[in-house]
Amino acid sequence: MQDAIPYGKYLLLDRVAIGGMAEVWAATLREGAPGRLVALKRILPTLAEDREFLTMFLDEARIVVQLQHPGIVPVLELGRQGETYYMALEYVPGVTLRALLDRERAAGRRLPVWLAAHVAWRVCDALDYAHRRRDLGGAPLHVVHRDVSPANVLLGFDGGVRVIDFGIAQAAIRTRREGQVLRGKFGYMSPELVRGLPVDRRADVFAVGAVLHEMLTGVKLFTGESELAVLERIRNAEVAPPSATEPGVPRALDAVVLRALAREPEARWAWASELRDALVPWLPAGGAGAAARTLAELLAERFPGELGAERRRMEQVRGVVGVG
């Protein structure tokens, strides 16, 4: 880990993620409440003057600040340092579902059915909350995440499951300024988004279906030799049941997944809560607490290096308290 970097009222400790628009740092306050980690997300310097990216970034903060749910990482602060905006979010030590799926695939393993159902249940619960959220005046926010994928599902070392990155979410505060530009990860888009049609919450239901299919089979659902080929497969939405790849998947669960992946939105589960409730038969008997503990144990076993890095990061926070 590198030396702490002063950044306004924060100290940047370690860069933990970088994407096409922003980077995320583990950080702590220099004064006031030092010793508490936050995830500080800031626009990449090369995009600091890009109005489109800036608007998306600010929209994400405005949306998430209105969402208070244990399955959604909360925004603690939106600020500006110099010419760059940042947001401070609650820091959650863990790994993405993408990382877990890749590690299991490399080892020739599949996630157990109960774990796939548990993660999908948690994601659906968070999304349903966002879809139904209203503003202070009682008007629906009409939030649609539009980028649900394994990379945007955070599995905490505490066993929690959280949805992250509402950067391209559609909400009432977002206008039609985007036109027909496709955004998000192509392999998890809905057919109506690919076809340039209006999208609503059922686009997220489709995406959860694609993620659940992948968790059950260990294989990405929509792939192709090119992005165009992937989009064409999504447009047609011809999907084999998970049990065709993984015979151990119950046939009744096949039906739940395939309904989420229906080509036409009207044929899908109407709400994420409906998909959530349909997954109950495959949840572990011990309840949510037992599932969280088992997930935490699995992550500790699969990611010992990453867990050790998080512990060292906490030690680093204690070591830099008071640094000016």
Q: What is the pLDDT of residue 313?
A: 84
Q: Are residues 98 and 80 in the same domain?
A: no
Q: What is the DSSP string of 191-236?
A: HHHHTT----HHHHHHHHHHHHHHHHHSS-SS--SSHHHHHHHHHH
Q: What CA–CA distances, in Å, run from 271 to 202, 288, 306?
A: 7, 21, 35
Name the phi and psi angles at 41, rounded to 5. -105, 125
Specify the pTM: 0.90
Catalytic residue check, 102: no
Buried/exposed code over 309-322 (b: 16+ C-beta within 10 A; e: otherwise): ebeebeebbeebee
Q: Are residues 83 and 129 in the same domain?
A: no
pLDDT tens by residue, the chain, 324 residues: 567 889 999 999 889 888 777 889 999 988 766 678 999 998 887 776 777 778 777 877 888 888 999 999 988 888 888 878 898 999 999 999 999 999 999 999 999 999 999 999 999 999 999 999 998 888 888 899 988 999 999 999 999 999 998 765 665 545 444 444 445 567 899 999 999 898 999 999 999 999 999 999 999 999 988 888 989 999 999 899 999 999 999 999 999 999 999 999 999 999 999 999 999 999 998 888 899 999 999 999 999 999 999 988 888 776 665 444
CATH code of 85's domain: 3.30.200.20
What is the signed CA dihedral for 118, 92, 307, 27, rounded to 10 degrees? 170
The domain tally of the chain equals: 2
Whether residue 245 lies inside any domain: the answer is: yes
Q: Are residues 158 and 254 in the same domain?
A: yes
Q: What is the pLDDT of residue 169?
A: 61
Number of Cβ within 10 Å of residue 174's Cβ equals: 18
Whether residue 277 lies inside any domain: the answer is: yes
Q: Are residues 168 and 224 in the same domain?
A: yes
Q: Are residues 161 and 295 in the same domain?
A: yes
Q: What is the pLDDT of residue 43?
A: 81
CATH code of 170's domain: 1.10.510.10
Q: Are residues 33 and 181 in the same domain?
A: no
Q: Pick the last residue of a domain from 23, 58, 91.
A: 91
Q: Are residues 141 and 230 in the same domain?
A: yes
Q: What is the pLDDT of residue 184?
A: 52
Contact call for residues 224 and 209 (beta carbons, < 8 A): no
- Residue 32's domain spans which residues? 5-91
Q: What is the pLDDT of residue 280?
A: 96
Q: Are residues 46 and 99 in the same domain?
A: no
Contact call for residues 22 and 44 (beta carbons, < 8 A): yes
Q: Are residues 107 and 71 in the same domain?
A: no
Q: What is the pLDDT of residue 32?
A: 65
Q: Are residues 250 and 197 in the same domain?
A: yes
H-state helical runs in the chain: 51-64, 97-106, 113-132, 191-194, 201-217, 227-236, 251-260, 272-278, 287-302, 304-320
Whether residue 168 lies inside any domain: the answer is: yes
Whether residue 308 lies inside any domain: the answer is: no
Number of Cβ within 10 Å of residue 306's Cβ equals: 15
Residue 158 DSSP SS3: coil
Burial of 8 (0-12, 13-18, 19+ CB in 10 A): middle
Q: Are residues 148 and 270 in the same domain?
A: yes
Find the catalytic residue in 125, 147, 165, 204: 147
Q: Are residues 135 and 207 in the same domain?
A: yes
Q: What is the pLDDT of residue 181?
A: 47
Q: What is the pLDDT of residue 187?
A: 86
Whether residue 67 lies inside any domain: the answer is: yes
Number of Cβ within 10 Å of residue 90's Cβ equals: 14
* CA torsion through residues 130, 132, 137, 142, sign: positive
